[in-house]
Structure 1
Amino acid sequence: MSVFSGWRAATRIARRDAMRAKGRSALVVAMIALPVLGVTAADVSYRSSMPTAAETLTAAVGSADARYSDPGVNGTPIEQMPDATSWGSLDESGHPAQGEEPEPVDVADLFPKGSRHLTERSVPADVTTRHGITSTEIVEVRTADPLARGRIELVDGAFPDGADEIAATEPFMESAGLGIGSRVTVRGPGKTYTVTGTVELPHDLGKKALYADPGAVIAAWQTASDRDDAIVPPQPSKTEWLVKGASGVGVGWPDVLRANEKGVLVKSRQVALDPPPDSEVPMADSMSGGSAAETSAAVVTVVALTVLEIVLLAGPAFAVGARRSRRQLGLLGTCGGDRSHVRAVVLAGGAVLGGFGAVAGVAAGLGLTVLFRPLIEGWTGSRFGALEIRPWELLAIALIGLVTGILAALAPAIVAGRQSVLESLTGRRGTRGSSRVLPAVGCVTLAAGVAIAVFGGATGATGLVAGGSIVAELGVLACIPVIVGFLGRLGSRLPLAPRMALRDAARNRGRTAPAVAAVMAAVAGTVAIATYLASVTSEHVYDHIPMLTPGTVALVNSDPMEVGQLPLARAAVEQNVAVSGGRADFGRVWAGSDCSVYYEEENGCGTIELVKPAGKGHSCPLQGAGARKLAEGLSADAHKELMSSPACIDEHIQAYSFDSGVAKIVVGDAPVLTSYAKLDDPAAARALAEGTPVLLNPAYADNGRVTLKAVHTYSEHDRENRKLHPGEARTTTDRLKVYVAPAKYAATPGIRMILPQKAADRLGLHTQDYGSFYTVAHAPTDAEQQAVSAAFAQAGDSAYLQAEYGPDSQDEDVVLLILALFAGLVTLGAAAIATGLARADAEADLTTLSAVGAPPAVRRTLSGFQCLVVALTGVLLGTAAGLVPAVALRLIDLREATKAMRLQPMDSAYTPIVLPWVTIGLLAVVVPVLAGLLAAAFSGSRTVPARRAA
């Protein structure tokens, strides 16, 4: 018999055996198809979401040939790359030489002869919504023009057609609570428009904007903005031109160079797709690409772990299948077949089921990608140009599924080939001792893998991190049989069902260990990514510079001449925002005339300043001479501690907080302490009541006093201050006794010191009501913010509301949840597989158990505990294995952050390693318990009497 005819026979036997055991075959096909499905969907989604050069150009220029735009260099000549992604001004200042006024550039004169163009202008503006008022971008462009196709697309309704119609993007409509047919009023001109349709930018699905025909909005808006009593201050408009060249001509490189001479940037379809040689590009330079080695390492890691997981999931099924078919395999031996034929039958089963699984996985992956395409596009923020399917890549993915099916059947094939014909015919299993070498090799491999990954993290070698993580995981896999065997010793004092489950797992390690390993592989990847994301999120939280203290909002008066409107603004906040605490009013303080009020007076602006004492404990050592040398010797934790000290924290936190004045001094009383600074200290409240300032940053204190420097300037309006400080403008310095708050309150955003009104009057300083702090249940929503803006408009538009929304970690939280759900499903699946195989493999034992009088419920309880053992063991091992790559990758981040800190001493090098306890808890507690309950619920308690095999 030839080799091919032997394999044909083996394949035929394997196919018939698969058809007879449909349940087990479907299980194997599903286990192979699921990872193939995921890889196929990821491949097609990634390829489709990465736009081609032509699709990128269509998103930028629509169906036109080029987009002309003013980069804001005032007519100064520029140089650009052919694809317009990089450009530079020939005059770095961006202004004409020798201070000459730039001549207006007639951009239309730069277009190729015979071309036509579409003008697109945009301005920021305030518009009415269903909830109130919001700020957005208004774009004037003829959206119905064919030149705009591909850049702007209609989703629903109709394009605007006329001076009183407007279209909106879907994100704007959702935020504003509007629909087609709604009315929108642009503040300033007060003109109202009807929303005729919903549009989208295929390359930017999240953009919030309004679109109108040319001349419908901006001209009236600018006229209203230029008035002295304008509601909305004037803002510069942005103009771009979509140009369509003469038929068959387009916009060439000479046209681009001609526009560059006038300071105009051009993105040309013709030039980008067929760029000129570098010799004709003045700005040509070498562009460095990404590290192919790092990308390859990541791809190899993902593929290796995917193959490993398929093998571990499908392997037990083939092992049980070979065991259930051992009589058939024994008959094959009695008919003259040798061990190679027995192995061929088992391997052919792997090829048959692997092929079915690979084809089903690829087909299902394509189908799901098409089905969930809108959802994927929403995640990526852009539309697919086309569903890009690369047959060779899909063929490679299918081959991976086929090969892993064969690999999963390899070990069972070897075991089946070693069995004697007598053992196969009688059903006796024989006994094989556990290997003593494998656990030792596993421990050494684990230690080596951890060392390689950590070394890779310390040196910044991503490839070593990937390789070391895989080696470490293989080491844990080698130790799993010993761990499973040890579990059997833990059940001696347990009740019957859990004791039997542990002993069954230990006795059948060939079935239990791969299932545990499959759970471990899935959980390890999830824990690795979740740990890394949780650590990065923690880093973002630390690096986030708050504008206000958490749980507060600030109402601030923007116009000193309209301070009388503050009561109305306060009422607006209290009616429209979820205020949960009291109100704390505060004022601003200055010396002499206020420059924002008496700006027409020469030298009519007084200032005050808190003088920081010199010396250790007052000056930040990370600034000035010696800062870099100091930073080089600091660990990340030491740098974090130093940056959080009162001497340094004021240098970066105060710069991003709400504006309370240059000196960061507010006039207030006890409510400011409790509601905003969160300083619940009776002694501090008494100090304010007695006229003693409260200093929140002790770095400004010197023996319980601060130095306040005031530059007094006066005008004829300052009669009250002239009585206290007569004469010409002068500088005074006062030493004030203060109540010094604990060091942690130095981080209070926007405030260094709270000055009571008594102290301000005693010093002869100007004060004015400036705003209020409110404690809120949550940060204002879009609807609440819009409602407040509308109320402010009715109150004179002299106030604005600031809120602290915290670091943006919502995306990371969603990813962590998705990872936990994915790992949970794999864990449930692997545990269910192991439980089903255990039942199939131990059916005779269960029948015997029932025959000797065991209650029927024992079957359910036993199945539940078998599932629980596999799931819990795999989760715990996977959690430990997943920490290796996560820690190594964070070491790479720490290395890069430390290098950056030494170049910029004030930059944070804080790189924590944070465990995602919610994800780990879900996987370690909820998922195993749920797996056990489901296994018990779906496991039948009734037994069917079976004739004992001879």
Structure 2
Amino acid sequence: MSVLTGWRAAVRIARRDALRAKGRSALVVAMIALPVLGVTAADVTYRSYTPTTAETLTAGMGSADAVFRSAGIGAVPVEQTPDNTLWGTPPDGPASPGDSAPEPVDMRTVLPKGARYLTEQPVPAEVTTRHGVANTEIVELRTSDPAVRGKVDLVKGSHPAAGNEVVATERFLESTGLRVGSRTTVRGPGLTYTITGSVELPSDLGRKALYAVPGTVIAPWKAAAGRDKTIAPPNADDLTWLVEGPAGAGIRWADVLAANRRGVLVLSRQVALDPPPNSEVPYLTHGGTTYSGGSEELSTALVTVVAMAVLEIVLLAGPAFAVGARRSRRQLGLVGANGGDRSQVRAVVLAGGAVLGSVGAVAGTAAGLGLTVLFRPLIEGWTGSRFGALEIRPWELLAVAAIGLVTGILSALAPAIVAGRQSVLESLTGRRGTRRNSRVLPLAGCVALAAGVAVAVFGGTTGDTSLVAGGSVVAELGVLACIPVVVGSLGRLGARLPLSPRMALRDASRNRGRTAPAVAAVMAAVAGTVAVATYTSSVMAEHAYDHMPALTPGTAALVAADPSFVDQLPRARAAAEQNLATSGGRADIGRVWAGSDCGVYYEEENGCGTLTLVKPTGKGHNCPLQGKGARKLAEGLSAEAHKELMRTPACTDQYVTAAALHMSESNIVVGDAALLATYVKLDDPAATEALAAGTPVLLNPAYAKNGHVTLKAVHTYNPRDKENRKLHPGEARTTTDRLKVYVAPAKYAATPGIRMILPRSAVEELGLHTEDYGSVFPVAHTPTDAEQQAVSAAITQAGDGVHLQTENGPESRDEDLILLVLALFAGVVTLGAAAITTGLAKADAEADLTTLGAVGAPPGVRRSLSGFQCVVVALTGVLLGAVAGIVPAVALRLVDLREAMASMRKEPMDSAYTPIVMPWETIGLLALVVPVLAGLLAAAFAGSRSALARRAG
């Protein structure tokens, strides 16, 4: 009973002290509540966003009972898993038809008797938009049927009822500039439809599609293609059946097996939710396997995040409790003077942690739930799918709240121990006593730092990620142990500084028990941010290096799809110049060939000529990473040496063919000086003069020998090529010409799609044939959807025989967003830690500030001192965090390097480039902008005057 009574008194004292110091209490509550808020919001969002099996089935089949789909091999029996993720043919069953077209399955004979069905069939199409023409998908599905609810939901307007009506997804309307009531025409058959409503797919909010009544798009399109051979028939083969079982019985496992015997795959809601035992699944009894996904990585990540959050709170809130205990030391001394022992003194401080931790946990949990509900539409738009029901798991939220409570108690633990050790005399007189710094802790920190770095680097070179993680943690703990010494040495840096920064440095050094934890909190947050940012920046640089561009960056191209469409180029060029953000003149290019045109289809073999640039043999001409001895050479190369070798013209040459301008294996184009300036970006008067004089410009020096190239042409003429045949009678002949060329510098060998530029005069002199092929344009930015749709409309009107090609750069992987989020997170923690420390310093040093005012210090000293105190904490933590964060990033890149080197030695042409790129933008933001912002905010909110204090006695 006495224990309970003692704790009741301690809680009562703590509650009164919290109400008396409302500012400091609110600060601690906010620190505890913010992580609880974040974890609560993340938990509810994750549980609500992650679909259950039932929600996944609804997204795929609406409220129907099953989806039936032909396996595509005719009526050959198949076997499948209950969830239809894997399937195959029985080992003892009949063989599939192979390459021959299978006989279609009559699905109506497969469905259970009495079942009701809907069909769904998509078809790719070109449709008119407000801006021009866009490629999209039209799906024949009766969206008004109740069985579709949950798969396709109406947002605005009405479902299509007539044959000339469709509904569109909201993303389609957004990208095309259309709206409900607009009309759109399917190019080809010329079918026009009215958009009667907008719909969304809850599981795929970003989809661009139109939905029409079955039989109103594909069948009329096929009929139009049958009447007019210039209309391409629709490419619609993916037919699925949404089935409702007879009399509400659903689709059972026996129905699935019956459909499997007819070559049909089935996803049944009833079977997926209540699967049969493995012994009743033929696919599994015949040796098939299922995928098993573990959540060990997710659980580890979750535990790590929670542990880091707890660490941050303890590091930040601990000094607040310490300052609170010092400001209440007279009250604690009175507890001891009236018979309270040390355990009761500690209980008072710990009770403060429990009280504020409880308030913070409750407030954070409630705020997390409220913000999740409030920002649910934004979260759904960002993730691209709708939540199911907002799933709240009370036991998980209770555990999160308990973590907040425990964190508050842990934050008060160290101050409680210190308060319990103080004598009653020290507490009543306000003396702090003499404290000595530990000499063992920094020494142990240096040893841990060195050992951690060594272990992490060793793990990186051996490919052991567990050693990398362990070593990185040990290294960071070593830096944490050294922080008190670093903070203690700050006072020596201000000897020659003005008053405010000198006092800020000395205050941080003198009160390292308050400053060091805040610096450690900033360091921990910044270290994680810098580690991830460094690794992400390095991976981005690797992706950029490995990216093979289709065009030279900053250009767009128009190319004719077939020689018969060359007459459409003038109109397409005018459309491109009118609608694209071109930033200069265009360059026209032509294709060149020998004999009959290889771009024309001939049924006869060897019905056209060939034109080849003959590469010389020997060093500098053949890539040593290809052919005999390549693997042996690769085994002795470093990553940097391999990179340099890969960038030589002889090895770069293989990538030139993977381009939008690829016209033939020779990659020879006909062009003039405009092509050099617009596309090749070769600014050399000598090259321009060479083209004007009829001399070809060779972009790849590996094909040149003594300034000449060998051009081999086989002049073969097809009998049906009457025009060229009349000009060149006789048998096929082969010519080999040695041409003097202008050899461009080696860096131009990687120009996408072009190996050599021939002037028209040289083509005529060699007896070759040439024809217009397309144009390239310099553009100020990658064409937008509206710009591409406008150009596509003009191309379609001209005959749809020209393609617009653009270069979008490396594939977007959201790395920029990740870096921004990390920088913002670390910035918020840094600002918070600096603000907390400044507030505590202001409360802790009120007597010193009052003395300064009494001896005549200007009023602005308080503001400038608060600002510099904030800068000291923020800048010190950021710099230490940046150093600590580099260790795991470098170690992980060493792991990647090891894997890349192993791959390169197996396949010598695989890239081994594994750069380590520092995220200077993120580090600069944290090291410069955030500390300055923290200092300015602290100075702005600090009062310039202090109230006069009455002297005791």
Deviates more, 1:627-636 or 1:908-917: 627-636
Residue 883 of structure 2: which of 880, 884, 891 is its match? 880
Deviates more, 1:805-814 or 1:716-725: 716-725
Counterpart of 1:579 in 2: which secondary structure?
coil
| 1:862-881 → structure 2 map (5 Å cutoff) | 862-881=865-884
Q: For the residues of structure 1 that align with 2:459 and 2:152, how far apart are their CA atoms?
A: 47
| 1:672-821 → structure 2 map (5 Å cutoff) | 672-715=675-718, 721=724, 725-809=728-812, 811-821=814-824
Whether the aligned pair in 2 keeps the contact of 1:112 and 1:245 (CA below 8 Å) is yes
Structure 2 residue aligned with 1:338: 341
Deviation, structure 1 residue 381: 1.9
Counterpart of 1:880 in 2: which secondary structure?
helix
TM-score by length of structure 1 reads 0.96
Whether the aligned pair in 1 keeps the contact of 2:456 and 2:469 (CA below 8 Å) is yes
Whether the aligned pair in 2 keeps the contact of 1:231 and 1:797 (CA below 8 Å) is no
Counterpart of 1:580 in 2: which secondary structure?
coil
Q: For the residues of structure 2 that align with 1:737 and 1:95, how far apart are their CA atoms?
A: 60
Matched, 1:9 2:9: yes
Q: For the residues of structure 1 that align with 2:475 and 2:324, how far apart are their CA atoms?
A: 30
- Cα 1:643/1:305, change in 2 over 3 Å: same
Q: For the residues of structure 1 that align with 2:680 and 2:76, how far apart are their CA atoms?
A: 50
| Number of corresponding residues | 949
Structure 2 residue aligned with 1:142: 142
Deviation, structure 1 residue 3: 2.1
Q: For the residues of structure 1 that align with 2:225 and 2:456, how far apart are their CA atoms?
A: 61
Which letter maps to 2:939? A
| 1:297-308 → structure 2 map (5 Å cutoff) | 297-308=300-311
Deviation, structure 1 residue 633: 4.1
Deviation, structure 1 residue 325: 0.4
Q: For the residues of structure 1 that align with 2:179 and 2:295, how far apart are their CA atoms?
A: 47
Which letter maps to 1:701? A
- Cα 1:528/1:566, change in 2 over 3 Å: same
**1:55-114: CA deviations, max 9, x gaps?**
11111222112112235445554433221222345799x995486553222122211121
Whether the aligned pair in 2 keeps the contact of 1:453 and 1:467 (CA below 8 Å) is yes
- Cα 1:91/1:600, change in 2 over 3 Å: farther
Deviation, structure 1 residue 314: 0.5
Q: For the residues of structure 2 that align with 1:288 and 1:445, how far apart are their CA atoms?
A: 42
Structure 2 residue aligned with 1:26: 26
Which letter maps to 1:301? T
Whether the aligned pair in 2 keeps the contact of 1:181 and 1:195 (CA below 8 Å) is yes
Deviation, structure 1 residue 551: 0.4
- Cα 1:264/1:454, change in 2 over 3 Å: farther
Q: For the residues of structure 2 that align with 1:439 and 1:201, how far apart are their CA atoms?
A: 59
- Cα 1:639/1:115, change in 2 over 3 Å: farther
Matched, 1:116 2:105: no
Which letter maps to 1:465? V
Matched, 1:664 2:664: no
Whether the aligned pair in 2 keeps the contact of 1:725 and 1:764 (CA below 8 Å) is no
- Cα 1:72/1:595, change in 2 over 3 Å: farther
| 1:841-880 → structure 2 map (5 Å cutoff) | 841-880=844-883
Q: For the residues of structure 1 that align with 2:610 and 2:518, how far apart are their CA atoms?
A: 73
Structure 1 residue aligned with 2:490: 487
Deviates more, 1:49-58 or 1:894-903: 894-903
Structure 1 residue aligned with 2:322: 319
- Cα 1:576/1:46, change in 2 over 3 Å: same
- Cα 1:243/1:651, change in 2 over 3 Å: same
- Cα 1:737/1:217, change in 2 over 3 Å: same
Structure 1 residue aligned with 2:193: 193
Structure 1 residue aligned with 2:404: 401
Structure 2 residue aligned with 1:81: 81
Counterpart of 2:916 in 1: which secondary structure?
coil
Deviation, structure 1 residue 334: 0.6
Counterpart of 2:585 in 1: which secondary structure?
strand
Q: For the residues of structure 2 that align with 1:329 and 1:846, how far apart are their CA atoms?
A: 25
Q: For the residues of structure 2 that align with 1:228 and 1:759, how far apart are their CA atoms?
A: 43
| 1:442-457 → structure 2 map (5 Å cutoff) | 442-457=445-460
* Percent identity over paired residues: 74
Q: For the residues of structure 1 that align with 2:492 and 2:89, how far apart are their CA atoms?
A: 76
Q: For the residues of structure 2 that align with 1:162 and 1:337, how far apart are their CA atoms?
A: 87
Which letter maps to 1:142? R
Deviation, structure 1 residue 609: 2.2
Deviation, structure 1 residue 586: 0.5
Structure 2 residue aligned with 1:171: 171
Whether the aligned pair in 1 keeps the contact of 2:691 and 2:758 (CA below 8 Å) is yes
Structure 2 residue aligned with 1:55: 55
- Cα 1:770/1:376, change in 2 over 3 Å: same
Counterpart of 1:655 in 2: which secondary structure?
coil
Q: For the residues of structure 1 that align with 2:226 and 2:609, how far apart are their CA atoms?
A: 30
Deviation, structure 1 residue 33: 0.9
Deviation, structure 1 residue 197: 1.4
Deviation, structure 1 residue 584: 0.7
Deviates more, 1:259-268 or 1:678-687: 259-268
- Cα 1:764/1:810, change in 2 over 3 Å: same
Deviation, structure 1 residue 748: 0.7
Whether the aligned pair in 1 keeps the contact of 2:700 and 2:743 (CA below 8 Å) is yes
Counterpart of 1:478 in 2: which secondary structure?
helix
| 1:109-508 → structure 2 map (5 Å cutoff) | 109-226=109-226, 229-230=229-230, 232=232, 234-284=234-284, 285-287=288-290, 289=292, 294-508=297-511
Deviation, structure 1 residue 528: 1.8
Structure 2 residue aligned with 1:835: 838
Deviation, structure 1 residue 253: 3.0
- Cα 1:698/1:484, change in 2 over 3 Å: same
Whether the aligned pair in 1 keeps the contact of 2:221 and 2:233 (CA below 8 Å) is no
Whether the aligned pair in 2 keeps the contact of 1:226 and 1:234 (CA below 8 Å) is no
Deviation, structure 1 residue 874: 0.9
Q: For the residues of structure 2 that align with 1:506 and 1:211, how far apart are their CA atoms?
A: 70
- Cα 1:379/1:100, change in 2 over 3 Å: closer
Deviation, structure 1 residue 420: 1.3
Deviation, structure 1 residue 715: 4.4
- Cα 1:99/1:175, change in 2 over 3 Å: closer
Q: Unaligned stretches of 5+ in structure 2? A: none
Matched, 1:637 2:644: no
Taking only aligned residues, the RMSD between alpha carbons, in angstroms, comes to: 2.3
Q: For the residues of structure 1 that align with 2:98 and 2:388, how far apart are their CA atoms?
A: 48
- Cα 1:288/1:181, change in 2 over 3 Å: closer
**1:242-265: CA deviations, max 9, x gaps?**
111112432233433343344433
- Cα 1:200/1:893, change in 2 over 3 Å: farther
- Cα 1:97/1:818, change in 2 over 3 Å: closer
**1:115-141: CA deviations, max 9, x gaps?**
111100111000011111000000010
Deviation, structure 1 residue 879: 1.2
Which letter maps to 2:892? L
Deviation, structure 1 residue 228: 5.2
- Cα 1:73/1:893, change in 2 over 3 Å: farther
Whether the aligned pair in 2 keeps the contact of 1:160 and 1:167 (CA below 8 Å) is yes
Which letter maps to 2:211? Y
Structure 1 residue aligned with 2:918: 915
Deviation, structure 1 residue 451: 2.9
Whether the aligned pair in 2 keeps the contact of 1:297 and 1:466 (CA below 8 Å) is no
Whether the aligned pair in 2 keeps the contact of 1:181 and 1:196 (CA below 8 Å) is yes
Structure 2 residue aligned with 1:530: 533
Which letter maps to 1:688? L
Q: For the residues of structure 2 that align with 1:277 and 1:80, how far apart are their CA atoms?
A: 13
- Cα 1:803/1:226, change in 2 over 3 Å: farther
Whether the aligned pair in 1 keeps the contact of 2:143 and 2:159 (CA below 8 Å) is yes
Structure 2 residue aligned with 1:891: 894
- Cα 1:253/1:645, change in 2 over 3 Å: farther
